[in-house]
A = this chain, B = another copy of it.
Amino acid sequence: MTQRRVAVIGLGLIGASLGGALRARGYLVSGLDHDPATMQTALDRGLVDVVSDDLRVVLKEADLVILAMPVLSIIDTLPQIDELSRPGAVIMDVGSVKGPVVDAMERLPGAGRMIGGHPIAGKEQSGPGVADVSLFQRRSFALVPSGATSIPTLHTAESVVRAVGGVPVVLAAVEHDRMVAMTSHLPQLLATALALSVEPRDESLAGPGLRDMTRLAASGASMWTDILVSNADNIAAALGGCVAQLQNLSTMASAGDTVALEGAMTLANERAATIAGSVPS
């Protein structure tokens, strides 16, 4: 059996971590990034076997191509990847929004060999310097076929997810994007808005709660800009629900309604425990 070859396009936190995890499982990994220093770090840390800034070279022998750039770059690059990758290679992206990506996939000649992916894992730091080959262990990894994705392509993607230790969750793009608006994009928006709201003069009374609730706001600005724009409708809906909860809690407080407020806080205690229990540590 010949060694499987994977090309990883984009060597940020997710791309470099996937490269390293697949390399550890015996894949030969070639990588490309627009930033030479990023490629060098990925190479130095042993997360890829070879790097090149020439897309043709990186794709040449790959039978699996992973697109790990910001969402809008993935969409822009898909036609070129379809054209340059070898026939039969499976193409999977790992962007955080899936609707616009699988829509773009479905319209391409190679639609059958393309599938959307999204590992529910990350860090607020970015880049291959903080990449971690165990980042996907026991984490959900969404797999989102387009209407044209072939069954063999889905099976290949599932085996790749399992190879990096993840748990495949196959679902439709519309469901995925609605769910992550709530579970990932809204938390990011809350952290960002909170960081923007706190004035420097108030920081002498900053404590660990504020620090923890603004930690996500350190996440990469360009990656998140693409995500927020690509999933704006779902995020607006999730935000509307959360703002209604916020206003409701504030109204109960202003009215001095301790009974209603304690009821809501107690329910939130239970919900937080359930959420914590659903995320493997």
Listed in ascending order, the chain A residues whose CB lies under 8 Å from chain B are 72, 120-122, 139-140, 142, 169, 176, 179-180, 182-184, 186-200, 202-219, 221-222, 224-226, 228-229, 231-233, 235-236, 238-239, 241-243, 245-247, 249-250, 252-254, 256, 258, 261-262, 264-269, 271-276, 278-279
With the chains together, A121 CA to B279 CA distance in Å? Answer: 26
Which of B121, B215, B232 sits near A212, CB closer than 8 Å? Answer: B215
Known: A192-B249, A221-B269. A186 touches B182 (CB 8 A): no
Taking CB atoms, residues of chain B closer than 8 Å to A253 are 228-229, 231-232, 235-236
B218 and A278 within 8 A (CB): no
Which of B205, B216, B236, B261 sits near A183, CB closer than 8 Å? Answer: B205
Taking CB atoms, residues of chain B closer than 8 Å to A196 are 245, 264, 267-268, 271
Best-surrounded residue of A208, A212, A229, A262 (most CB of chain B within 10 A): A208
A209 and B228 within 8 A (CB): no
Taking CB atoms, residues of chain B closer than 8 Å to A210 are 183-184, 187, 275, 279
Known: A213-B191, A254-B233, A272-B195. A120 touches B205 (CB 8 A): yes
Which of B120, B193, B216, B271 sits near A195, CB closer than 8 Å? Answer: B271
**Nearest B residue to A254 by beta-carbon distance?**
B232
Taking CB atoms, residues of chain B closer than 8 Å to A250 are 189, 232, 235-236, 239
With the chains together, A252 CA to B229 CA distance in Å? Answer: 8
Closest 4 CB pairs of A and B: A221-B265, A217-B272, A193-B245, A120-B207
Q: List 10 A-B contacts (CB under 8 A).
A: A122-B207, A169-B204, A189-B249, A218-B273, A221-B269, A222-B262, A224-B265, A225-B265, A232-B250, A239-B247
Known: A217-B272, A266-B221. A121 touches B208 (CB 8 A): yes
**Nearest B residue to A221 by beta-carbon distance?**
B265
With the chains together, A218 CA to B122 CA distance in Å? Answer: 23
Which of B189, B254, B268 sits near A217, CB closer than 8 Å? Answer: B268
With the chains together, A236 CA to B188 CA distance in Å? Answer: 22
**Nearest B residue to A278 by beta-carbon distance?**
B203
Which of B139, B140, B191, B243 sits near A272, CB closer than 8 Å? Answer: B191
Taking CB atoms, residues of chain B closer than 8 Å to A189 are 246, 249-250
Which of B139, B202, B225, B242 sits near A182, CB closer than 8 Å? Answer: B202
A245: min CB distance to chain B, Å: 4
**Nearest B residue to A266 by beta-carbon distance?**
B221
Which of B139, B176, B246 sits near A207, CB closer than 8 Å? Answer: B139
